[in-house]
Amino acid sequence: MAAATLYGQQPPTTGAQYWSTDPNLDCSSAHALAIQVPLASGGMGTSCLVSGTFAWLAAGGAWSTSIRATAPASGAIGVNYGFWQDGQRISLDTTSGNGTVPASGNLVSFALNANQPSEIRLLGATSSAPQYGTTQTGFVYAVFFCPDAATCATLVPQLLFSFAPVKPWSLSVPILWDSSYSSFQPKGILPGWSASGISDATHLISFAVCNQSRTAATFIVRVFDSNGSLVGQSTTPSIPVLGTVGLLLTDLIRTPLPAGILKVVIDGGSNVSSVAFFQFDGDSATSLQVAPELPRGSTL
């Protein structure tokens, strides 16, 4: 990620104190960056910084997305959510708290006190208000600022996107961290990923691939049957840098797949990605656990 571009503006410094006054703040125990924060009151604070990607958002056209985060008991946090599509920032209408009047922008920035939860609701493209009849998709890049390493090391934000009440689909998208910050924040940018699912007459597998490499890239999709035999292979369309694409497995693998459990691998070769998988089972749907898929001989 082009850090300077993606981190965007800093959260407001007039409320919750997500920075330290210690200019030598040590963020290394959480493997986080330490950055300077110019304060509205004058002077300079220092924050630890962790960042990651929600690989999919869907807002408008009966889809809704909400992003939830809470400051840990150990400290306040600053939060930036940036909205991206095909390598560009996109402007979305959002609401938060009990607010019903949408705000428009390609970045939402705020600060939370210790134990304070937040929910940002994405309604759709600003241009499609107030009905939001068009579905916008893309990804969210999230940046968190903390007054100490331990606070950053415990953050676990969440994106939920839903098609309710049309269908009872409420799908969780975990954040995919830019680096391994702590036990609960494993690195979410790797060359290969896999998940186990079923794709038959009543079950569908879908996935989102966010290209985290420095050039546009295609990704190979391989499907293995319950014997571990390769039964299907295809390639995604070219995905631009900082672009994400959502696909049904059957969009790519046109040949019938065997009944039963399948392993689906997303292989970028030398190109890294962040991936989310979903399983649809009739009217129900859930997120799938996505595992790193390492080439032989390589390590995490």
Residues from 32 through 61 that contact another protein (CB under 8 A): none
Near another protein by CB under 8 A: residue from 131, 180, 215, 235: 180
Identify any residues that bridge with 194 across adjacent strands, giving them in sequence order: 265, 291
Smallest gap, in angstroms, from Cβ of residue 26 to another protein? Answer: 10
Q: Does 140 bind another protein (CB under 8 A)?
A: no
Token code pair at residue 103: 């705000």
Site track for another protein across 192-231, x = CB under 8 A: x-xxxxx-------------------------x-xxx-x-
Place of tokens 């840990």: 72
Q: Please list every residue from 254 through 273 that binds another protein, using CB under 8 A.
A: 259-263, 265
Smallest gap, in angstroms, from Cβ of residue 12 to another protein? Answer: 16
Q: Does 162 bind another protein (CB under 8 A)?
A: yes
Place of tokens 């903390």: 146
Which of 126, 106, 95 lies closest to 5 in space, CA to CA? 106
Q: Using H for helix, E for strand and C for coil, what is the string for 271-286?
A: CCEEEEEEEEECCEEE
DSSP one-letter code for 294: P
Smallest gap, in angstroms, from Cβ of residue 88 to another protein? Answer: 28
Query: What sign does the dihedral 56-66-14-23 (CA atoms) show?
Result: negative
Q: Which is nearer to another protein, 60 or 243 (CB)?
A: 60
Near another protein by CB under 8 A: residue from 57, 58, 123, 149: 149
Smallest gap, in angstroms, from Cβ of residue 127 to another protein? Answer: 27
Q: Does 234 bind another protein (CB under 8 A)?
A: no
Token code pair at residue 53: 């990607």
Residues 228, 74 contacting (CB under 8 angstroms): no
Q: Which is nearer to another protein, 106 or 187 (CB)?
A: 187
Smallest gap, in angstroms, from Cβ of residue 28 to another protein? Answer: 9
Q: Please list every residue from 63 through 82 that binds another protein, using CB under 8 A.
A: 68-74
Residues 193, 265 contacting (CB under 8 angstroms): yes
* 203-211 vs 273-281, strand pairing mode: antiparallel
Near another protein by CB under 8 A: residue from 169, 220, 233, 251: 169
Q: Does 135 bind another protein (CB under 8 A)?
A: no
Token code pair at residue 182: 């702590």
Q: Does 15 bind another protein (CB under 8 A)?
A: no
**How far apart, in whole angstroms, are the C-alpha atoms of residue 222 and residue 230?**
7
Q: Does 292 bind another protein (CB under 8 A)?
A: yes
- Please name the amino acid found at residue 100: T
Near another protein by CB under 8 A: residue from 11, 52, 82, 174: 174
Q: Does 296 bind another protein (CB under 8 A)?
A: yes
Residues 57, 140 contacting (CB under 8 angstroms): yes
Smallest gap, in angstroms, from Cβ of residue 241 to another protein? Answer: 26
* CA dist 26 → 43, 48, 149 (Å): 19, 8, 7
